[in-house]
Chain A
Amino acid sequence: EAGVAQSPRYKIIEKRQSVAFWCNPISGHATLYWYQQILGQGPKLLIQFQNNGVVDDSQLPKDRFSAERLKGVDSTLKIQPAKLEDSAVYLCASSSRGARETQYFGPGTRLLVL
């Protein structure tokens, strides 16, 4: 079974530029999550999708961050314009319905904003 796929793996941009990250979850997983992990910290949830609907985006900085999951499968997270403090690893995870609701993570995208 293929895992969660993410691209790109690394991205370097200058502040005020825009950037987009892509995620393809494990086949059949209805729930998709985007987390931000700043160096030295644990991941923090940005947004959670259930199929193509948003379940929780309370910690998403909506003035600059946006995300979509149009067909209920893969998802895109965008930052526009980027700030220095957006430098982090962006992790995508997916899960299926079940008692444990274990989230499986992709390899992440390391973003550096200069």
Chain B
Amino acid sequence: AQKITQTQPGMFVQEKEAVTLDCTYDTSDPSYGLFWYKQPSSGEMIFLIYQGSYDQQNATEGRYSLNFQKARKSANLVISASQLGDSAMYFCAMREGRSNFGNEKLTFGTGTRLTIIP
């Protein structure tokens, strides 16, 4: 079974609109971390936001927020007021287990290509 599933290969969104990128995960470990990265055409993976499995609040970082629904095992990324510079690939990733040197490996989904239309 896939550990991280991103079901939207591509999305087109009008500038200034909000956009939700879907991510579901699969793990039996009660302790895990969820990450979202942005990858522009230049290739670098840019860290956006993190959610820990024990965090009570949904994570927010500026225009980015994470809609964390633990029972549904989903961790959707919400970008408010989209901008042309948001056009990129977006990857959801998971770290299973407590970070304690040795299990920090990230498992990535296949990504969603987001295109913002002027």
Chain A residues close to B by CB (< 8 Å):
31, 33, 40-45, 48, 50, 55-56, 89, 91, 93, 95, 97-108, 110
Contacting residue for B104 out of A41, A42, A89, A101, CB 8 A: A101
Contact with A along B29-53 (1 / 0, CB 8 A): 0000101010000111111001010
Contacts of B25 in A (CB 8 A): none
Our pick among A42, A101, A103 for the contact of B111 (Cβ within 8 Å) is: A42
CA distance A45 to B94 in the complex (A): 12
Interface pair B52/A43, CB less than 8 Å apart: no
Excluding A40-B110, A102-B50, A104-B47, 4 further A-B contacts by CB distance (< 8 Å) are A42-B109, A42-B110, A55-B101, A103-B104
Residues of B within 8 A of A (CB): 4, 33, 35, 37, 42-47, 50, 52, 91, 93, 95, 99, 101-102, 104-106, 108-111
Query: Considering only CB atoms, which chain A residue lies closest to B9 in the complex?
Result: A40
Contact across chains for B42 and A100 when beta carbons are under 8 A apart: no
